[in-house]
Amino acid sequence: AQSVTQLGSHVSVSEGALVLLRCNYSSSVPPYLFWYVQYPNQGLQLLLKYTTGATLVKGINGFEAEFKKSETSFHLTKPSAHMSDAAEYFCAVSGIGASGSARQLTFGSGTQLTVLP
Amino acid sequence: NAGVTQTPKFQVLKTGQSMTLQCAQDMNHEYMSWYRQDPGMGLRLIHYSVGAGITDQGEVPNGYNVSRSTTEDFPLRLLSAAPSQTSVYFCASSYSYRGVGNEQFFGPGTRLTVL
């Protein structure tokens, strides 16, 4: 089984401030972790992903996330928020099951990021 | 490339009516899926397909049917619409289901209201 918990359904930051969006996961197999962003009235697009290897992953638009196995976390950060970052962000998990079958993508409930001028 | 396209963008149905949401991709992707998005619940998988002629159920399949006769198309059918099916529906595709770390590409969504 697998699940994702995103702490904070709404986060507000000032323009230029640090963005920190929290994601914790649960998985019985090594996880593949993703962050997607959804701008108003649009579909989701991939920000970044972790599958194997380096635990600090960099994505588009200056975002990065660090996979911490001991904390079962994959928090998303950006050093300096921009007005254009205002959107909804989703953390998601998948992986390879014990039988070798691929697991479906499971999404968290999302975090709405507001950037204040 | 158009990517993943969905039609219609908006739809209003009455309870009991049926309809088909269309999804097409032009990237020759093996894997296609349908999600519904409801406030505070993220995206939940309805059905998915790992290739033409192969479909399977996701987390919330009840009330929906799918088929995949071609690589490009993956329509979602609502058999008898209910108010609980009011939601935003997203279609997504990825290159290969076996490469489970592959990025999924999402369509723009269909906003469905059932009265």
Measured between CB atoms, does A5 come within 8 Å of chain B?
no
Q: Do A45 and B97 touch (CB under 8 A)?
A: no
Q: Do A109 and B41 touch (CB under 8 A)?
A: yes
Q: Which of A90, A102, A103 comes nearest B42 by C-beta? A: A90
β-pairing, B110-114 with B105-106?
Answer: unpaired
Measured between CB atoms, does A17 come within 8 Å of chain B?
no
Give yes or no for residue B62 having a pLDDT over 90. yes
CA distances from A59 to A62, A82, A86, B103 (A): 6, 15, 16, 13
Query: Could you give the 3-state DSSP secondary structure of residue A60?
Result: helix
Q: Which residue has the higher pLDDT, A6 or B103?
A: A6
pLDDT in tens, A67-104: 999 999 999 999 999 999 999 999 999 887 767 677 78
pLDDT in tens, A46-62: 999 998 889 999 999 99
Q: What average pLDDT does the segment A99-116 reach?
A: 88
Split at pLDDT 50, 70, 90, the class of B99 is low
SS (H, E, C) A8-38: CCEEEEECCCCEEEEEEEEECCCEEEEEEEE
